[in-house]
Amino acid sequence: MGLSWKQKVFLALLGTAVALGLTALVLVLVEAVNVLLPADTKFGIVFDAGSSHTSLFVYRWPVDKENGTGVVSQALACQVEGPGISSYTSDPAQAGESLRGCLEEALALIPEAQHRGTPMFLGATAGMRLLSQKNSSQAEDIFAAVTRVLAGSPVDFQGAKLLDGQDEGAFGWITINYVLGLLIKYSFSGEWTRPLEGTLVGALDLGGASTQIAFVPGGPILDTSTQATFHLYGSNYSVYTYSYLCFGRDQMLSRLLAGLVQSPSASLVRHPCYHSGYRTTLPLASLYESPCVYSAAPQNLTQNLTVEGTGDPGACVMAIQELFNCSSGQDVGECAFDGVYQPPLWGQFYAFSNFYYTFYFLNLTSRQSLGTANATVWNFCKEPWKLVEASYPGQERWLRDYCACGLYILTLLTEGYGFSEETWPSIEFRKQAGGMDIGWTLGYMLNLTGMIPAEAPAQWRAESYSVWAAGVVFLVLTLVSVLGAAAVQFFWPQD
């Protein structure tokens, strides 16, 4: 017996529904493969040529999400052996040669086929800024030597540049807010949205020669020379940022010691920031090499200076306070120190670099109160040198300076930047966030490669929905197939 016209129609409908369902299944599987298989990866290299050392960072990101947020990861962090490049004034060629070891590590990590397409940058900060002030020809020779080595590598070297202090602070701000996903977020509704007001964090950086502060204040920035403006992902940001040259860790220590020298002919200095029982001798000439040391140099720089520690934190704080000029008198509003305008502090802050390293050593990175931090540093300063040496074997290089650095950080953050007992808990002392070292290098690379677009690309939403849309189509068509089969069963003649 032949099929009735109704049976033929429902069979045709059933076949069509099954075919469409299979097509949708193929589509969703193709999309799933595209998502699950590793996307092509791009790389970027940044050298951070600081005052005391140089570091190399390799970053990587999936090509299909190049303008996404939070998709860049840190693939390598390498510390170059030796001092910062600004130290090679007597042998500029060695400044370039010193970079080869970390460069070779980076090239070994990145697939050879991608070398030519990998951008590489070198940014020099406060150490080279000081050298440029002191002797511009020496600075140019060092940059030339660095450029010769890096330009000879197989990657796309974009040049060695001197960062000004404002850029250093601003790129640090971009880095931390990008890594934390605070510039833009992907919502459950499938849209890229700007995070709520007030969620942005500030950046506090303490290097060897300078310190930077950057944050978005709660009100207007009245001194435009301290303002950096960005248009990122469709939003405008006005960031207060300032860099204090000569207020970095190493320059502070030199200025502090020079200030304790009572007279040009002195051969002995009693240092309240060094532990009692500590004693060292150093060439007097080394103390006056930096342009940050404003004290008049003695005529006889060939003599040595003996330094004895007294372990007196109270006297140490007083000596540190002499480094600051906290007099106000600014017409435009608040004054932090050194006659510089600063709006009132606002929001959370991440303190990194030497802020973190010093407080990590002192076990103060767990959101302790300001009172606890003060007591911890003061008690450490009072410990005799022999006890300190015995308690921290293998750390002799920096050990004598942790007392001075700890008290300096407390003074800088409270009397300099204006943190109080109430606002102190807003500071997090961190080395990393999201598995990445915090600093200016990531923000610098993101800016130069255009990886943070001014506007949020409209296709992001469509791309994000592609797999889910295919899945919905598949489910709908499968339902049609089931209904068609049920209908045929219903109308099919029963034996």
**Cross-strand bridge partners of residue 228:** 239
Please state, in angstroms and rounded to a whole number, the distance separating the CA atoms of residues 86 and 84: 5
Please state, in angstroms and rounded to a whole number, the distance separating the CA atoms of residues 275 and 392: 14
Please state, in angstroms and rounded to a whole number, the distance separating the CA atoms of residues 128 and 99: 16
Catalytic residue among 66, 81, 112, 168, which? 168
Tokens 């007992």 locate to 421
DSSP string, 175-224: HHHHHTT-S-EE-TTS-EEPPPTT--EEEEEE-SSEEEEEE--SS--S-G
Chain centroid to CA 182: 14
Q: Which helix (H) or strand (E) holds 348?
A: strand 348-353
Please state, in angstroms and rounded to a whole number, the distance separating the CA atoms of residues 28 and 472: 9
Number of helical (H) and strand (E) elements in the chain, helices listed first? 16, 18
Dihedral angle computed from the Cα positions of residues 49, 82, 179 and 65, in that order, rounded to the nearest 10 degrees: 80
Phi, psi of 308 (to 5 degrees): -120, 135
Q: In Å, what is the CA distance from 354 to each residue of 204, 263, 305, 382?
A: 10, 31, 27, 22
First to last CA, the chain: 12
Q: In Å, what is the CA distance from 331 to each residue of 162, 237, 344, 403?
A: 32, 25, 15, 36
309, 276 Cβ separation under 8 angstroms: yes
438, 384 Cβ separation under 8 angstroms: no
DSSP string, 27-50: HHHHHHHHHHSPPPEEEEEEEEE-
Residues 6+ apart with CB under 8 A from 384: 275, 276, 277, 311
Phi, psi of 43 (to 5 degrees): -130, 155
Whether 168 is a known active-site residue: answer yes
**Cross-strand bridge partners of residue 280:** 307
**Cross-strand bridge partners of residue 4:** none
Residues 6+ apart with CB under 8 A from 127: 49, 50, 51, 52, 84, 85, 86, 87, 208, 209
Catalytic positions? 168
